[in-house]
């Protein structure tokens, strides 16, 4: 089944807003508890779309499967020290981050 034009536009908007960014620039979102780590097994853009659609059952399933969650203090410290780069997209009020091909310094966590 094809996505609606509105959903396709949302997906395109999130894709255009996605970028590699150093963790240091995301620290304030981490401190505010607004950083969500997305497993490399998921499509970061699709997660943002589902969040924008308030698809709570899907998010509960991903949480239960360990495919997304918060960022631990230990992981945040490691990213800061190692100058970790992450893929990020804002799905207000959350910032979704992913390690996929993020480059040096982005050690893979146990999500």
Q: For 52-100, how does the pLDDT look when each residue is reduced to its tens digit (9 = 90+)?
A: 999 999 999 999 999 999 999 999 999 999 999 999 999 999 999 998 7
Q: Is 31 left (phi over 0), alpha (psi -120 to 50) or beta?
A: alpha
Looking at the chain, how many residues does it have?
111
**pTM (2 decimals)?**
0.86
| Strand boundaries in 1-111, DSSP class E | 19-22, 35-38, 68-69, 85-91, 94-98
Residue 100's pLDDT is 74
Interhelix angle for 44-52 vs 56-64, to 10°? Answer: 140
The answer to whether residues 33 and 95 touch, using CB atoms and an 8 Å cutoff, is no
The answer to whether residues 106 and 79 touch, using CB atoms and an 8 Å cutoff, is yes
Q: Report domain extents, the chain.
A: 5-98
- 3-class secondary structure, 96: strand
């Amino acid at each position: 089944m094809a996505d609606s034009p509105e959903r396709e536009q949302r997906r395109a908007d999130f894709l255009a807003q996605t970028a590699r960014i150093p963790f240091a620039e995301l620290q304030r979102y981490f401190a505010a508890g607004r950083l969500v780590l997305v497993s490399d097994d998921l499509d970061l853009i699709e997660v943002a779309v589902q969040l924008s659609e308030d698809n709570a059952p899907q998010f509960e399933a991903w949480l239960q499967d360990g495919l997304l969650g918060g960022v631990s203090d230990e992981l945040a410290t490691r990213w800061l020290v190692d100058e970790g780069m992450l893929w990020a997209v804002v799905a207000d009020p959350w910032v979704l981050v992913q390690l996929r091909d993020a480059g040096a310094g982005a050690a893979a966590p146990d999500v």
